[in-house]
Amino acid sequence: MSTISSPFEVGDARPSGSRPFLDVNDLHVHFSTEDGLVKSVDGISFQLERGQTLGIVGESGSGKSVTSLSLLGLHKKADRKGRGGARMTGEIWLDGEELVSADEAKLRALRGNKMAMIFQDPLSAMHPFYTVGDQLIEAYRVHHKVSKSEGRKRAIEMLDRVGIPQPNSRVDDYPHQFSGGMRQRAMIAMSLMCDPQLLIADEPTTALDVTVQAQILDLMRDLQREFNSALIIITHDLGVVAELADDIMVMYGGKAVEYGPAKTVFTAPEHPYTWGLLTSMPRLDRPVQDRLAPIPGNPPSMINVPSGCAFNPRCGFVAQNGGRCSGEVPELLQTTSSGRRHLVRCHLPVDVRQRTFNEEIRTLL
């Protein structure tokens, strides 16, 4: 799997020889279940520097959330026979430390400290029986030997920073007393308690109303700049990634199918699945279309991933490739020789893909 490298421009950003801040290499996360082996994440690689944002896009079952949890080592580990949990292989390098082989104590010291996570639904992600303050203080005191009152000071400071009015009194409220937007702000404050350098946000605005979503996206952008953290945002909403991400990785059936700078993925996508995602959603910045162009069929079941390219049963371009699409898994390869890295996992020849996009797909957007 050495075909994959950073989507940044060659020689860009970092001294040669050193690893990127986050370097995920050929990560597999497999679960063995009663119905068979589920390859939720099946060989993905990506890189991320501090101050940069990676958007991971995909539908349910694409493996995007499993990826995020595996970065923090939050999957229950399988026993020696590979049962009852996740079997992880590959490498995750965070700031020079390898995490897949790391023991629980080491991971625990990093979790919530150097890397933190923002979850989708803040109502269920916060404990209903403890005050917001208690939960924030706890997050701080796990990693810092400070008194409760110092922890409380920090909690109030962070609540204030994420824009919660009257943090002095709200710190003693319970999560259910917050509105949805305020709760997500509190969740973000909790994730920032220990100044994490890597922040992973799993569908951070999906449960929120659109005006609140706008506030939260702005907040995340500002905070990232202020803390210079690396940000991974996982979502199904292409609008949200477009707002935040520098790079985008599109996942399907546990694999990355397209990976490149956000601008390229949006303006010159080359994978038929990415095309489908873009054409199936109505857009406010375009004239109303007569009809949407959906992707036919359903996302694959993870028990029974189609052979060959996982997308082939739903792909409209299979016929042009003979039996290859259903027989052989395509590799994730650099598409053109231009300076920017742009990786696509598709059997269609590059020129066909580019021509198809320009002639058939672009007009549908």
DSSP secondary structure code for residue 111 in this structure:
B
Query: Judged by CB under 8 A, does residue 304 bind another protein?
Result: no
- Report the residue number, 1 or 109, with the smaller CB distance to another protein: 109
Dihedral angle over CA of 358, 360, 362, 365, nearest 10: -170
Query: Judged by CB under 8 A, does residue 298 bind another protein?
Result: yes
DSSP assignment string, 251-279: EETTEEEEEEEHHHHHHS--SHHHHHHHH
| d(C-alpha 59, C-alpha 112), whole Å | 27
Query: Judged by CB under 8 A, does residue 155 bind another protein?
Result: no
Backbone angles phi, psi at 45, to 5 degrees: -140, 135
- Report the residue number, 285 or 351, with the smaller CB distance to another protein: 285
Query: Judged by CB under 8 A, does residue 54 bind another protein?
Result: no
> Binding residue for another protein (CB under 8 A) from 147, 267, 307, 338?
267
Site string for another protein, 164-203 (x = CB under 8 A): ----------x-xx-xxxx-------x-------------
Of 1-9, 40-48, 292-300, 332-340, the window that binds another protein (rule: CB under 8 A) is: 292-300
* E strands in the chain: 22-33, 36-48, 53-57, 86-94, 97-98, 115-118, 198-202, 230-235, 247-252, 255-261, 332-334, 343-345
Query: Judged by CB under 8 A, does residue 240 bind another protein?
Result: yes
Neighbours of 133 (CB within 10 A): 22
CB of 21 to another protein, least distance (A): 19
Footprint on residues 14-33 left by another protein (CB under 8 A): none
Contact present, 95 and 103 (Cβ < 8 Å): no
Of 23-31, 88-96, 204-212, 343-351, the window that binds another protein (rule: CB under 8 A) is: 204-212
Site string for another protein, 107-146 (x = CB under 8 A): -xxxxxx--xx-x-x--xxxxxxx-------xx--xx---
Pairing between strand 36-48 and 22-33? antiparallel
Of 26-34, 208-216, 332-340, 353-361, the window that binds another protein (rule: CB under 8 A) is: 208-216
CB of 199 to another protein, least distance (A): 11
Cα 63–chain centre separation: 10
> Binding residue for another protein (CB under 8 A) from 18, 81, 210, 319?
210
Site string for another protein, 61-90 (x = CB under 8 A): --------x--x-x---------x------
Of 16-24, 151-159, 216-224, 318-326, the window that binds another protein (rule: CB under 8 A) is: 216-224
Query: Judged by CB under 8 A, does residue 95 bind another protein?
Result: no
> Binding residue for another protein (CB under 8 A) from 78, 102, 268, 293?
293
> Binding residue for another protein (CB under 8 A) from 66, 132, 250, 278?
278
> Binding residue for another protein (CB under 8 A) from 230, 233, 244, 325?
244
> Binding residue for another protein (CB under 8 A) from 26, 50, 59, 87?
59
| d(C-alpha 224, C-alpha 246), whole Å | 13
Of 29-37, 226-234, 270-278, 336-344, the window that binds another protein (rule: CB under 8 A) is: 270-278
Residue labelled with tokens 């109505």: 282
Contact present, 233 and 56 (Cβ < 8 Å): yes
Query: Judged by CB under 8 A, does residue 295 bind another protein?
Result: yes
DSSP secondary structure code for residue 341 in this structure:
-
Paired with 33 in beta bridges are 36
Query: Judged by CB under 8 A, does residue 102 bind another protein?
Result: no
Query: Judged by CB under 8 A, does residue 238 bind another protein?
Result: yes
For 2-41, letters b (16+ CB in 10 Å) and e give: eebebbbeeeeeeeeeeebbbbbbebbbbbbeeeeebbbb
For 237-249, letters b (16+ CB in 10 Å) and e give: bbebbebbbbbbb
CB of 101 to another protein, least distance (A): 19
